[in-house]
Amino acid sequence: MTGRITSLTTYDVRFPTSRGRHGSDAMNPEPDYSAAYVVIGTDSGVDGHGLAFTIGRGNDVQVAAIQALEPYVAGYSLEETVADMGGLSRRMVHDSQLRWLGPEKGVMHMAIAAVINAAWDLKAKLEGKPLWQVLAGMSAEELVDLVDFRYLSDALSRDEALTILRTAQHSRAQREQQLLTSGYPAYATSPGWLGYGDARLARLARQAVADGFGLIKLKVGANLEDDRRRLRVAREAVGPAIRVAVDANQRWDVGDAIEWIRALAPYDLWWVEEPTSPDDVLGHASIRRAVTPIKIATGEHVHNRVMFKQLLQAQAIDVLQLDAARGWCSTWPCSTWLPCRDPRRTAPSSTLTTCMSTSWIPWSSAAGATWPPGPPVSAPKCGQPRYAGIPIPRVRRGPGRGDLMSAGESDGPTALTVGGGPTIGLATARPPAGCRARATLNSKARL
Ligand SMILES: [Mg+2]
């Protein structure tokens, strides 16, 4: 392989999901699910695709931020870039002038993550494997080389990270096989959008159970009486054996969160997601202490590894949620995931659940579906998706223990999550059929 990266092309893709209130929650009542889509072009005939997820207005800003990264990618050796994914990350993240816009947070960080994910897609295609298997095949040293230990070394050294990974290596093949045969635990978000009426909530909740999900998630936080009623409807629909989590999407102050969660406790909440500002590490810790044993989840809007380090050190969360389409990429989860496995540093680690949420991985194409246009694809109904003939782990229905991922939409456009720790990785695949044409059409569209 002696090719070069020749281009970085962006597309503004938007869907009018607000019309059906798909994706609505207490803080985002009318989202238009959108993607700042990026394609890394090469002279080798293979290209890499990535995206940053936004909810409509601002997608043009996100696209511009990604486009600004072209000089950091175009013209570089293809071979050297995909051989040193940690280096690619450092080249962009630690560029002084870009760093000024963060550091390591916000629009620019989301843009960098989108480009890095596109580079991972490129690497996987060049190796002729789905990405999860590229990551699963990397040695402990290669995985640790991805980690930026700056600001982490007080919690985890490179040697400690190597020990954690080497210790887990003996069971890697077994876990890989388990993924292929049993799939990957997931939960359903589709019943619980705040803009859905009670009848639809009940129907989708029953459907999720019929599809085999053991956990559903409802949006809460706008009105306490509405939340009580909706939880009652959901509980009646799914019965006592199904776990019900709720997501406040940052709606509450710390005191309000504690009061509200206690008021909803009779409905047997499994976790409460984003109860307050994602930046409020100590606030999350206070809420967690006050409402235990109800679990506290966050991460979708957590900027970087430093904040996750503090959330773990402060024992502030039970469920750690990375979003690979909102500021995280395949290179960075190791820096968050590894400290979780070190019980000396992070007391909740024995019970900590990691949960990957991406919202927009073009899984439907991996499953052989068309996207867009085409009918929505519900993950559990998909056959075994493959890339280059190699299976991609299926979403597993049924109550999951350990790592989870969210399987997004069922009534709106397909939005689905695939992910995991270093042994699994994101499963990306070829771009959805027709995506380029649709994206071009939408590049000038404004909703
Ligand atoms: Mg959420």
Do residue 318 and residue 360 come from a single domain?
A: yes
Do residue 180 and residue 59 come from a single domain?
A: no
Q: Is residue 82 part of a domain?
A: yes
How far apart are the C-alpha atoms of 20 and 16, rounded to whole Å? Answer: 8
Cα(432) to ligand 1 centroid in Å equals 25
| Contact (CB, 8 A) for 191 and 204 | yes
Do residue 121 and residue 175 come from a single domain?
A: no
Do residue 188 and residue 87 come from a single domain?
A: no
Cα(284) to ligand 1 centroid in Å equals 15
Cα(249) to ligand 1 centroid in Å equals 6
Give the chain's length.
Answer: 447
Q: How many CB atoms lie within 10 A of CB 407?
A: 26
Q: Is residue 137 part of a domain?
A: no
| Contact (CB, 8 A) for 52 and 114 | yes
| Contact (CB, 8 A) for 336 and 307 | no
How far apart are the C-alpha atoms of 35 and 42, rounded to whole Å? Answer: 22
First to last CA, the chain: 43
Q: Is residue 146 part of a domain?
A: no
How far apart are the C-alpha atoms of 97 and 114, rounded to whole Å? Answer: 19
Cα(131) to ligand 1 centroid in Å equals 25
Cα(115) to ligand 1 centroid in Å equals 23
Give me the pLDDT at residue 409, please.
Answer: 33
Cα(235) to ligand 1 centroid in Å equals 20
Cα(359) to ligand 1 centroid in Å equals 10
Q: Is residue 165 part of a domain?
A: no
Do residue 195 and residue 108 come from a single domain?
A: no
Query: Which residues does residue 115 pair with via DSSP β-bridges, in sequence order?
Result: none
Q: What is the chain's pLDDT, residue by residue, as a tens digit (447 residues)?
A: 679 999 999 988 887 888 888 888 999 999 888 888 889 999 999 998 888 889 889 999 999 999 999 999 999 999 999 999 999 999 999 999 999 999 999 999 999 999 998 998 899 889 988 777 788 888 989 989 998 999 988 988 899 888 888 888 888 888 778 777 776 677 888 899 999 999 999 999 999 898 888 899 999 999 999 999 999 999 999 999 999 999 999 999 999 999 999 999 999 999 999 999 999 999 999 999 999 999 999 998 999 989 988 998 999 998 888 877 777 766 666 666 555 554 444 444 445 565 555 433 333 222 222 222 222 223 333 344 444 445 444 444 433 333 344 433 333 322 222 222 222 222 222 233 333 322 222 332 222
Helices 85-93 and 106-127 pack at an angle, to 10 degrees, of 160
Give me the pLDDT at residue 351, please.
Answer: 52
Protein residues within 5 Å, CB atom, of ion ligand 1? 247, 273, 300
Do residue 117 and residue 189 come from a single domain?
A: no
Do residue 201 and residue 111 come from a single domain?
A: no
Cα(312) to ligand 1 centroid in Å equals 19
Cα(247) to ligand 1 centroid in Å equals 6
Cα(167) to ligand 1 centroid in Å equals 32
Cα(137) to ligand 1 centroid in Å equals 31
Cα(301) to ligand 1 centroid in Å equals 9
How far apart are the C-alpha atoms of 336 and 302, rounded to whole Å? Answer: 11
Q: Is residue 271 part of a domain?
A: yes
Which pTM was predicted? 0.81
Cα(153) to ligand 1 centroid in Å equals 29
**CATH code at position 112:** 3.30.390.10
Do residue 278 and residue 419 come from a single domain?
A: yes
Cα(275) to ligand 1 centroid in Å equals 10
Q: Is residue 158 part of a domain?
A: no
Cα(300) to ligand 1 centroid in Å equals 6
Do residue 328 and residue 289 come from a single domain?
A: yes
Q: Is residue 78 part of a domain?
A: yes
Cα(321) to ligand 1 centroid in Å equals 9
Cα(444) to ligand 1 centroid in Å equals 29
Q: Is residue 154 part of a domain?
A: no
What is the number of domains present in the chain? 2
Cα(248) to ligand 1 centroid in Å equals 8
Do residue 355 and residue 394 come from a single domain?
A: yes
Do residue 124 and residue 201 come from a single domain?
A: no
Domain with 87, as residue range(s), is 5-129+437-445
Do residue 61 and residue 202 come from a single domain?
A: no
Cα(218) to ligand 1 centroid in Å equals 10
Helices and strands, counts by H and E, the chain:
17, 14
**CATH code at position 412:** 3.20.20.120
Cα(166) to ligand 1 centroid in Å equals 33
Cα(139) to ligand 1 centroid in Å equals 32
| Contact (CB, 8 A) for 106 and 148 | no
Cα(16) to ligand 1 centroid in Å equals 20
Cα(87) to ligand 1 centroid in Å equals 31
